[in-house]
Structure 1
Amino acid sequence: MVKRNVRLSSPEIGGLWGVYIQETMSICLLKYFLHHLKDNEIKPILRKSLHISQTHTKQIKAIFLEENIPLPDGFTNKDINLSAPPLFYDLFALSFVYSMSRMGMVNLGFSTSTVARADVLDFFTHALNQATELYAESTNLMLSKGIYDRPPMITYPEKVEYVKKQSYIIAAVGKKDL
């Protein structure tokens, strides 16, 4: 690796550290899910998610090694027991990828906005794109399986209206007679 003359900033170290812990945890759970999974429609997205998590941990290891920063004590194969009976239904594994990709988009988006070093910015930008892709794929699969719980629908407004009194706020908290 090429030695850089720009040290990592605290948000860069903290962001990479957090992603490393999250990805090592995901690797353990995804391995467990894949070991027990029966649904062949869900397997590809779990395999993809596992590959992404493994790639991210390798990339972070390389950055930390280059900077002589100790690697966080993440989760390992010691933290899973593949011989344990299935604890979850197959659909939960899909829901896990969906939830982790949503959380990833928020966390990676925040981290992306706080880093400046080119290699770290590239890492977070690419990871954010991957999380967004996993979100779209898991959402589409959940929709096709009928398990995606859509947010409530509202009627479309027919015209633009402006608030003329603040009494609606008081009505919302239960006060009357204004």
Structure 2
Amino acid sequence: MVKRNVRLSSPEIGGLWGVYIQETMSTCLLKYFLHHVQDEEIKPILQKSLRISQTHLNQIRDIFSKENIPLPDGFTEKDINLSAPPLFYDLFALSFVYSMNRMAMVNLGFATSTVARADVLDFFTKALNQATELYAESTTLMLSKGIYDRPPMITYPEKVEYVKKQSYIVAAMGKKDL
């Protein structure tokens, strides 16, 4: 079997670029949170999130280096001041992990559907699984701490019903009876 050098497509470059910027920002914030965190239940999820972000950055650096693509100008150590007093409560750090991974599941899911090169597809697939895992862990911890804001509840339907009139569509568009 002949091995060919398959160049990165524009969605592959763009997806990796976006993840790189996001992970450099996350790395800075996670280091800051870890420097100040007091809650021993939150600390492990912050540490895990930081390890994953650093791994993603190394993987993207490796892919871009092999392709001779310059790295984006992401966030760096210069963008954080660990000696600054705590600016956030520990629960905010947990909410940050939750929110970032919630967004990552959407973004990584989309990116995964636009890539084909094996190494990039593998990267996005694993990153999506990690984001889903961190989302689940952060949601569980938020629930246990009583800070997860659940969506509204509705009564369960008792039977299947079908629309008989279409006047609700007209009402939704702001028109009166036809």
TM-score (norm 1): 0.95
SS state at 2:114 partner: coil
Query: What code does the residue aligned with 2:91 have?
Result: L
Give how far 1:125 is off. 0.2
Match of 1:109 in 2: 109
Give how far 1:172 is off. 4.1
CA RMSD of aligned residues (A): 1.3
Could you give the per-residue CA deviations for residues 132-151 of structure 1, whole angstroms, max 9, x where no partner exists? 00000000000000000001
Q: How does 1:87-106 map to 2 (within 5 A)?
A: 87-106=87-106
CA distance in 2, matches of 1:104, 1:10: 19
CA distance in 1, matches of 2:166, 2:133: 42
Q: Which consecutive segments of 4 or more residues in structure 1 shift more than 3 A? A: 170-178
CA distance in 2, matches of 1:177, 1:56: 57
CA distance in 2, matches of 1:59, 1:4: 21
Match of 2:8 in 1: 8
Q: How does 1:126-145 map to 2 (within 5 A)?
A: 126-145=126-145
Match of 1:124 in 2: 124
CA distance in 2, matches of 1:169, 1:37: 51
Q: How does 1:41-56 map to 2 (within 5 A)?
A: 41-56=41-56
Q: How many residues align?
A: 176
Match of 1:61 in 2: 61
Structure 2 unaligned blocks of 5 or more:
none
Match of 1:84 in 2: 84
